[in-house]
Amino acid sequence: MSFVYPGILYGLFALALPVVIHLFNFRKHRTVYFSNIELLRNIQQQTNKTNKLKHFVVLLLRLLLIASLVIAFAQPYLPANDQYYPNESKLVSIYIDNSKSMQAQGTDVSLFDEARQGARQIIKQSAKDTRFLIAENNFQPKYNFTVNHQEAEIEIDAMQSTAPPVDFSQTIRHNKNLKAAREYKHRVMYYFSDFQKTMISPTDIEKDTGLNLILVQSEPVVTNNIYIDSCWFLSPVIQAGFVVDLMVRIKNAGTVAVNSLPVQLMIDGNQKSVSNVDIEAGESVDAKLQLMVNEAGIYRGVITIHDFPIVFDDDLFFSFSIAQHINVLEIDQTDQNSWLKTLFEKDKLFRYESRNIRQLDYQAIKDYDLIIFNELAAIPSSLNLSVQEYVKKGGKLVVFPSQFSNVEANDNYTEFGFRYETIADTAKTSVYKLNDSHFLFKDMFVRLPDNADFPVVNKHFPMRLPSESSAFTLMEMLNGNPFMVGNQYGSGQVFAFSAPLHENWSNLFQNNLFVPVMYKMSFLNSSNTGLYTVTGQSDRYTIRNSSPDDQPFRITSLENDFEVIPENRFVSGRTDLLFHGMITAAGFYDIQAGDTVIGTFAVNENRKESVLDYYKTDEIIKLLPKENFKSIRVINNTQPEMHDLVKNSEIGSQLWKYFIILALILIFAEGMVLRFWK
């Protein structure tokens, strides 16, 4: 048994007072004269023995009463096996999950407010010499140092439930690696969270055998949630003045069906479309919204639904840009290809030019968005170097081989990761498979039928991909040879076909794949950021055709005064902007060079927390490896045990109340002895 306040035990010296009183009887006796006391002698002897015994019993009861009161005020306790000792320095870590899922409604307040209330309770009941480490999902540097009671409460009051989700193992690892934590031998951590199943990976939990881990779970009253999962354009090509279909996937993660849920689309603050959807419990629906913009430029869109109380996933931000023109250059050996001319020249979006290889301005190559090598049997070294530099900086190159010989050109194509065999394969075959996981085909098809009409190939030059090449097959023929390959070269892309654009070689130009594939290659953005990114998943943005001499690019938020200059890393004609976790809030962010906005990207909250599926207390105990910690306990934040747990984790099982009860019993016993013992 140990004591919280051992100094009070000096009060046991008060036990001497009853002893002194009983040893020295200070009462004055009155003399009574009797003529003969012979008859009273035996009675007196018996009475003296009885009184002495009675006095000793009363003395013992009083001694025990004083001892019980002194010990009770010293607050005795039985140390628990996992406790750290109060007479040693103590460190209490308090982690509060401040992700968006903690906005769910608890018994009286939100789960986040419940967690903060529990944390304040811990601070108030901890010993005065306790030091605290406060932590939340953002792991801000200010939380790397220990604080006292008052500072800890200030930090907890300043928290907001706006952070991205963090894995359980990451929190444990962060706490263990802090220098402040390593200075303490005995540590305890209160971990406040709702313990969603997506947040715990039991195979990757850091081992910390010096940590007493107390998991405090907050449970929501309602676990229904409807959220916007994703969006995409049905067409890979978006042009000014044309209606485009935007698909929105909405999921019902609850147990109740929803009817006529409004879905709203805003573009640059203007409403463009509204739809209503019905969603069964546990199901998802794809809603189609239509929009049209009249001019080229950068556009910012927001899709909105209304669902309570989880609201962080009711908005989906996305951005897209429409180019004023797409510049396409065809380089040929003899004549221009009529199919390419027909495809690009009739569309006002494209500025199509055809140049003979002998009349080419190499300095102008960088001004084109797409370059097509049309049957070049030989490529001058100066052109080869210019095109390589163009692709490295983010350009796109499409190769159609020569009908006659590709021997000389092969030396150039090897640099791009492929080469043609010198003899054509004249066996008729056809394309039978697409690499639909590649971004070239992403969102190009709603669904590919099993009997899709793919190009027929009458003859082709077999293409070989060296073992060290990073090129891959995009279209495969029945004979196993690639009909189309792709490769990333620097910041750009190279695509090559195994047959020229002639009817006696293949019917690609007549096939339904020809137009969308050529268009998609023209529209590809070398940054590959897509319509939006997700917090915690993308930490870079690529700017093509830049140089080390460009002034540093800045990132500014359109929702608040957030502004940061990210790391600007120049690589092969492009600049990678590295954010290093600085962007944590959903919304729109502009990329600025000086005062000019050169791009916009959208960031959305991670949807991992949208499915409100939680571990139960017994599941958490089974899930976490007990050998990784000194001890593990799991409690509910709203249960009465929460109050006792704070004290028990500090000083074990408290015994003072039992000594108070004993003191009351002793007082009653003394009264009974004095009253009835004659």
Q: Which of 113-117, 298-302, 461-465, 656-660 has the lowest mean pLDDT?
A: 656-660
* 666 within a domain of the structure (yes/no): yes
Q: Which of 47-61, 351-365, 445-459 has the lowest mean pLDDT?
A: 47-61
**117 and 186 share one domain:** yes
Sheet holding 563-564, edge to edge: 533-534, 596-604, 587-593, 554-557, 563-564
When pLDDT is averaged across residues 357-370 and rounded to a whole number, the result is 89
When pLDDT is averaged across residues 270-282 and rounded to a whole number, the result is 94
Say whether pLDDT at 465 is over 70: yes
CATH of the domain at 545: 2.60.40
CATH of the domain at 98: 3.40.50.410
DSSP-assigned states of every residue in 537-555: T--EEEEES--TTSPPPEE
**439 and 334 share one domain:** yes
Residue 545: pLDDT band with limits 50, 70, 90: low
- % of the chain exceeding 90 in pLDDT: 36
Q: Which of 88-97, 233-242, 395-404, 416-425 has the lowest mean pLDDT?
A: 233-242
C-alpha dist (Å) from residue 334 to 329, 375, 518: 15, 9, 22
**130 and 276 share one domain:** no
* 69 within a domain of the structure (yes/no): yes
**Each residue's pLDDT tens digit, 594-609:** 888 888 999 998 888 8
**242 and 262 share one domain:** yes
C-alpha dist (Å) from residue 428 to 457, 459, 503, 504: 6, 6, 13, 11
- Report the pLDDT value the prediction gives residue 86, as an integer from 0 to 100: 44
**Each residue's pLDDT tens digit, 26-42:** 555 566 666 666 655 55
* 408 within a domain of the structure (yes/no): yes
CATH of the domain at 340: 3.40.50.880
DSSP 8-state secondary structure symbol assigned to residue 82? T
* Residue 88 CA, distance from chain mean position: 37
When pLDDT is averaged across residues 622-645 and rounded to a whole number, the result is 78
**358 and 490 share one domain:** yes
The domain of 539 spans 533-604
What stretches of 410-502 adopt beta strand conformation (E)? Answer: 419-420, 429-434, 456-457, 463-464, 472-477, 482-489, 492-497
* 65 within a domain of the structure (yes/no): yes
Single pTM value for the model? 0.69
When pLDDT is averaged across residues 278-301 and rounded to a whole number, the result is 93
- Report the pLDDT value the prediction gives residue 49, as an integer from 0 to 100: 67
When pLDDT is averaged across residues 366-373 and rounded to a whole number, the result is 92
* 445 within a domain of the structure (yes/no): yes
Q: Which residues make beta-bridge pairs with 216?
A: 192, 635
**495 and 347 share one domain:** yes
Give first-to-last CA distance, the chain, whole Å.
39
**351 and 240 share one domain:** no
Tracing tokens 């991909």 back to the chain, one arrives at 465
Residue 549: pLDDT band with limits 50, 70, 90: low
Cα–Cα dist 654/79, whole Å: 9
What number of other Cβ atoms are within 10 A of residue 160's Cβ? 8
Say whether pLDDT at 137 is over 80: yes
When pLDDT is averaged across residues 477-494 and rounded to a whole number, the result is 92
Residue 226: pLDDT band with limits 50, 70, 90: very high
Of 472, 492, 523, the one marking the end of a domain is 523
**24 and 120 share one domain:** no
Of 274, 290, 323, the one marking the end of a domain is 323
**Pair of tokens at residue 111:** 């789960």
User: ∠ at Cα 432 (398, 493), nearest 5°?
Assistant: 20
**Each residue's pLDDT tens digit, 233-260:** 887 667 788 888 999 999 999 889 999 9
C-alpha dist (Å) from residue 675 to 54, 152, 670: 11, 56, 9
Q: Considering Cα of 288, then 293, then 296, then 299, what sign does the dihedral take?
A: negative
Cα–Cα dist 615/598, whole Å: 46
**413 and 492 share one domain:** yes
**Each residue's pLDDT tens digit, 75-87:** 887 765 545 444 4
- Report the pLDDT value the prediction gives residue 24, as an integer from 0 to 100: 67
Work out how many domains the chain is built from and give that number: 5
Residue 581: pLDDT band with limits 50, 70, 90: confident
When pLDDT is averaged across residues 651-656 and rounded to a whole number, the result is 70
C-alpha dist (Å) from residue 552 to 180, 397, 569, 595: 36, 29, 10, 12
Q: Which of 207-211, 537-541, 620-624, 649-653 has the lowest mean pLDDT?
A: 649-653
- Report the pLDDT value the prediction gives residue 443, as an integer from 0 to 100: 67
**Each residue's pLDDT tens digit, 562-580:** 898 888 887 756 688 888 8
**506 and 357 share one domain:** yes
Cα–Cα dist 252/307, whole Å: 11
What stretches of 22-163 adopt beta strand conformation (E)? Answer: 76-78, 91-96, 131-135
**Pair of tokens at residue 285:** 């629906």
Tracing tokens 């790397």 back to the chain, one arrives at 144
- Report the pLDDT value the prediction gives residue 647, as an integer from 0 to 100: 57
**340 and 450 share one domain:** yes
- Report the pLDDT value the prediction gives residue 642, as an integer from 0 to 100: 62
Residue 394: pLDDT band with limits 50, 70, 90: confident
* 483 within a domain of the structure (yes/no): yes
Tracing tokens 């449970």 back to the chain, one arrives at 219
* 528 within a domain of the structure (yes/no): no
Tracing tokens 């380089």 back to the chain, one arrives at 331
**Each residue's pLDDT tens digit, 169-190:** 999 999 888 888 888 877 899 9
**Pair of tokens at residue 678:** 């004659």
**Pair of tokens at residue 639:** 């249960």
C-alpha dist (Å) from residue 255 to 125, 197, 315, 452: 40, 18, 21, 39
Cα–Cα dist 246/250, whole Å: 13
What number of other Cβ atoms are within 10 A of residue 339's Cβ? 17
**9 and 45 share one domain:** yes
* 84 within a domain of the structure (yes/no): no
- Report the pLDDT value the prediction gives residue 389, as an integer from 0 to 100: 87
- Report the pLDDT value the prediction gives residue 677, as an integer from 0 to 100: 76
Of 304, 323, 342, the one marking the end of a domain is 323
